[in-house]
Amino acid sequence: MSPAPRPPSLLRSAAVVSFMTLLSRLTGLAQTFFLSHVLGAGAAADAYAVAFRLPNLLRRFTAEGTMTAAFLPTLSEAEAAEGEAAVKAVAARFLGTLLTILLLGVALVLLFMGPLADLLTLGRPAIQGELTARLGRIMFPYLALVSLTAGFTGLLNLRHRFALAASVSIFWNLAFIAFGWTTLRVLQRKGAVPLETVAVVCALAVLAGGVLQLLVVLPATRKEGFGLAFGLHLKDPWVRKALQRMGPGLLAAGIYPINALVSTMLASKLPNGAQIVLYNSGMMGEMVMGLFAMSLATASLPALARQAEARDWPALNRSLMQSISASALLVLPASVGLAVLSRPICALLFRTGAYTPAAADWTALTLVFGSVGLVFVAAQRLGNQALYALKDYRGPAALAGGTLLLNVALSFALLKPLGTGGLALANGLASLAGMAGVLLRLRPRLPDMDLGPLLNATARALAACVLLGLLAWGGARLLTLDAPHAFTRLALALRLLPLVALCAGAYGLAATGFGHPEARELAGKLRRKLGLD
């Protein structure tokens, strides 16, 4: 039998995921621009944001979070114990079982959507709660669609087909825009469309995108020999093992969405527009996370699972430290850039149609506070991947519970003085505690774990970030970007985008000059690609 093909390197796999994720985030910006343009920042927009948070955040439990973290290591065990045929059989039964449970859960939530919407919009007029419930009933089935899609893309990642798996969101974004734009154009022939109707159209567009995502990934999954066995296959020991691992991991993997739901409930005490402002500022943070942290997490989990199964502790330690270091190298400058240039960035992206300049400035202020914790969220997620690979699920769950309580306490404390900014800052500070807890949990379980090189590399990245921040601040003053609403969108883009490119280039040179290991590795690869070596 011929030897199995050698898996691509972690950084190369992460680069593939990052590139496809970049395209996904660019189309995501277009989708957010469209949504802001047609829906604005009022009561209807808040109702949409709250209703969409439910399936979009809960998918972290059943999709890219706990499900894949429990699913892929179990498949690696099944392959080692019973061979390739077992992988395909277990995958089909597990996904069939998960889909069955999800459909039952969706039906249950739809029955109680009214009281749930009332809880999340507590303090708002009853009509807003009714609209939220209506939109929630339309969108919540998206949870089943996106979870099944995530299961199939996880299987493609297992076969090192990262590009297609990372591109499915592109199709969701494009389907959302196409469906929403076409439907609104038809409705506008009869006159102005009420914002409540626009919100319903956007909710239907969410489902349209979910269907297209699934249809895109199905052929590739079937080509790899994977299928779906619908039903409850609880007698299969591998299926039970994966589900048991998902149980205690639900809270750990879902800490971010739980925190976001807490923020949603507290934001109902703020003026109209708070929900969509939190949604849009959070989307900007998720763009950074998706580009730089989740791409590394996606690429690292299969490798970490195999290294843990082989008990290759030095390799697992190197993979984990390299992932966190590379994540910090990219997330730190993005966070600094978002904070320093938040006002022109949000003016460029959100100041359109029904989304007023005041709403764009509100979003920018919230983004500044949200940027503080992005690097901690990234490190916590990557550390959790290593714990899952080590089959430690109880520890992260307990740590996540403590982080959740801290986030709630901080949210209550910061809500009144800082508003939406306080809610964003509370989540980041809680993630700092969560990151520290994960690293402490890893130390006794990962022999010879050495944080010294990671801390050294992070210090070099921080030094480069100081230069980036000063350059961004000085450039913004020179180009008068502190008054972004004085410019047309084109004039603003012609000033802002070159500054962003200049800051990114300067940071790359600084990080390389300061001796950051991943920066030097990437610079070396770039020179070889350009034929400079």
| 224-229: Cβ within 8 A, 24+ apart | 224/155, 224/156, 224/159, 224/161, 225/88, 226/88, 226/91, 226/92, 226/152, 226/155, 227/88, 227/92, 228/92, 228/95, 228/96, 228/99, 228/148, 229/92, 229/93, 229/95, 229/96
Backbone angles phi, psi at 226, to 5 degrees: -95, 145
Report domain extents, the chain.
Answer: 12-253, 255-524
Does residue 168 contact residue 149 with C-beta atoms inside 8 Å? Answer: yes
CA 487/CA 495 separation, integer angstroms: 10
Q: Which amino acid is at 73?
A: P
Residue of 157, 268, 294, 127 whose CA lies nearest to 217:
157
CA 329/CA 199 separation, integer angstroms: 39
pTM of the model: 0.73
CA 52/CA 54 separation, integer angstroms: 5
Q: How many CB atoms lie within 10 A of CB 423?
A: 30
CA 454/CA 292 separation, integer angstroms: 17
User: What three-state secondary structure class fits 355?
Assistant: strand
Written in H, E and C, the secondary structure of 275-286 is HHHHHHHHHHHH
Cα maximum dimension of the chain: 69
User: What three-state secondary structure class fits 427?
Assistant: helix
Count of alpha carbons within 13 angstroms of residue 218, beta-carbon side = 10
CA 167/CA 433 separation, integer angstroms: 32
CA 383/CA 317 separation, integer angstroms: 11
Sign of CA dihedral 375, 378, 384, 390: negative
Tens of each residue's pLDDT in the chain, 533 residues: 334 444 445 555 555 666 776 787 788 888 988 998 898 888 899 999 889 988 877 776 665 555 666 677 788 788 778 777 778 888 889 889 888 988 998 999 899 998 888 888 877 888 888 999 999 999 999 988 988 888 888 788 777 666 676 778 899 999 999 999 999 999 999 888 999 999 999 999 999 999 999 999 888 888 888 888 888 888 888 888 888 777 655 555 556 566 667 777 788 888 888 888 888 888 888 777 766 666 565 556 667 777 777 777 787 888 788 888 888 888 899 999 999 999 999 999 888 878 889 999 999 999 999 998 888 888 887 887 788 777 777 777 777 778 888 888 998 899 889 999 998 898 888 888 888 888 888 888 877 777 888 889 899 999 999 999 999 999 999 999 989 988 998 999 999 999 999 999 999 999 999 988 888 877 777 777 666 66
